Structure 1
């Protein structure tokens, strides 16, 4: 069996396991939790937890702050699938595990993917521990997860990403933020591959391009999801200012700490948003 056929079989088998875990639930939304934002998983009611290692083709995670669990249940009474952690492209060049994860939840009935990440701010007006609604992205990773043979069973060879971050979903999230008195900025997310943080010169470059936040994830997730027809929304939790914009020392521990500070507002926003998405 070739690599593409193995992937398709993994998607089928993983989707079957997820569907079995759902029981009578029929979730239409899946959430991928970024670094330091895994606490939302504890808010899932009547959870059924599947380890990624038990789902064929799912990623094996190695980074702190990513639990590697798929959880089905409800948030505020709304059926959901929560994906607690992701594989980053600074860990691997293999896109298949991320494609399997996203395509499997789509095959299990999901039509909306809600992404979250920890990110660095490029604007003084977007402060640490605040939230930013992603309006668009710039892919500076030097890769696209859909490079290689295209499987028409999942999506077309060429597809538009003009509205990659769904305008209708964004409008609903903005309304929810206003109703719940949560500060929610809007902006363009710039994705670097990492694992090193960006240099001050690179930060100045992406500021000039119109970027508002920078990170190492979410763009591949968005592209895979749009390719297979999922609607996508995303939130960045700002954990630091970009390199050269403050005196802070950038570390992953620092990222997790500040993500935790913004997690309460993130959880409040998501709990309210899933009811209207």
Structure 2
């Protein structure tokens, strides 16, 4: 048994023994978007530090806990704060929370993030439905011995983000008058923001936004057969496009400013799923 598989099993057994019900829906909240978890009726909360063999979130604006609730009757587990590669975790450890939510029973994943806009047609405050991603610049969470009980050795990545769910989300956003884009997310390792040359390279590769999370989590979810829909909040324009220096507070502030329509959209989307 590999070290990661052992730790995953330990974390699963510990978390499974603590939760009061099995979720069907999983939500991962990105920087500045954690307020959604404060708007639901919290039935149970479990801090990451209280789960055996589980990585702990250290990023600003990430509370570092699982919240269990029912949203429109759907049993839901919310990851309020994620872990990142730049915190020193391996790619496998970074996706452990996603793995656990799937093992606990979640069949659908709504994954969110704050990111920098690389597409000049985008604006700060836009929501982008992730239609595809680029992960060639970061380690794959599928490296090493395959976990055969979770998924195949060579999983297909043609449709990491479920098209039907993405189309449904786009239709709903437009009906609600919310500015929504469609595009490609490019993951970088961080924690430094990308240079103007790196952002230019990302756009040449086809990216619309750049960030430090999400894509490898979606890859792990796809490996396990979960249906994933991704939402990016453009919290700033990326280096070389923005005329000001970037800082983490800007990202958090933009996330909080957008929390109203972001939460409204996600809640109504879950209602449609229900």
Unmatched runs of 5 consecutive residues or more in structure 2 = none
> Counterpart in 1 of 2:259?
263
Listed as ranges, the matches of 1:168-247 within 5 Å are: 168-247=164-243
> Counterpart in 2 of 1:3?
3
Provide the aligned C-alpha RMSD in A: 1.7
Aligned with 2:133: secondary structure? strand
TM superposition shift of 1:111: 0.3
TM superposition shift of 1:2: 4.6
Q: Which of 241, 247, 259 is the equivalent residue of 1:251?
A: 247
Listed as ranges, the matches of 1:40-189 within 5 Å are: 40-189=36-185
8 Å contact from structure 1 (residues 117, 218) kept in 2: yes
> After TM superposition, which residue ranges in structure 1, 4 or more long, deviate above 4 angstroms?
none
TM superposition shift of 1:15: 4.5
Take 1:42 and 1:149, find their aligned partners in 2: how far apart are those partners? 38
Take 1:219 and 1:242, find their aligned partners in 2: how far apart are those partners? 18
TM superposition shift of 1:12: 3.3
Residues 72-114 of structure 1, C-alpha deviations (whole Å, 9 max, x = no match) = 1123443311110111001124234334322221122110111
Count of residue pairs brought into register by the alignment: 273
TM superposition shift of 1:245: 0.8
8 Å contact from structure 2 (residues 8, 53) kept in 1: no
Structure 1 stretch 69-78 or stretch 94-103: which is displaced more?
Answer: 94-103
TM superposition shift of 1:53: 1.3
Residues 15-46 of structure 1, C-alpha deviations (whole Å, 9 max, x = no match) = 5135x322xxx532100000010000011124
TM-score by length of 2: 0.94
Residues 213-267 of structure 1, C-alpha deviations (whole Å, 9 max, x = no match) = 1100001101111111111111011011111112121011111111212221211
Change (3 A) 1:27 1:254: same
Residues 149-208 of structure 1, C-alpha deviations (whole Å, 9 max, x = no match) = 112111111100100011011011112112222111110001111111111111111112
8 Å contact from structure 1 (residues 121, 240) kept in 2: yes
Residues 116-175 of structure 1, C-alpha deviations (whole Å, 9 max, x = no match) = 001011123211011110000011433101111112111111100100011011011112
TM superposition shift of 1:8: 4.2
Change (3 A) 1:242 1:6: same
> Counterpart in 2 of 1:13?
13
8 Å contact from structure 2 (residues 95, 216) kept in 1: no
Unmatched runs of 5 consecutive residues or more in structure 1 = none
Take 1:4 and 1:106, find their aligned partners in 2: how far apart are those partners? 16
